[in-house]
Amino acid sequence: MAEAKIFVRERRKVGEKEKQPRYFVVAVAGVDLKIKAKHIRKMEIEEIASVIGADVIYLQAGKDNKENDLDEDDDD
């Protein structure tokens, strides 16, 4: 069986000093994992990954990407 991986990217609309979760889970491979939160903190991602034995892959998001994302532009 392949090793579990959690793919995340940093949200675009959250600043450095804001007290909001900064990451969005894009995909999960190699494990049956359901994330109930829309946005998640880095320490939460890393703790989940350590418990299930997964690697966390941080994706680079393009700054001028005009396509709609799965999370409908991050915030409300």
Are the C-beta atoms of 23 and 40 separated by less than 8 Å?
A: yes
The Cα 34–Cα 53 span in angstroms is 15
| Residue 66 clears pLDDT 90, i.e. is over it | no
In the structure, what pLDDT confidence band is assigned to residue 8 with cuts at 50, 70 and 90? Answer: very high
pTM reported for the whole predicted model: 0.69
Amino acid at 70: L
What is the H or E stretch that residue 16 is in? none
| Residue 7 clears pLDDT 60, i.e. is over it | yes
Are the C-beta atoms of 61 and 44 separated by less than 8 Å?
A: no
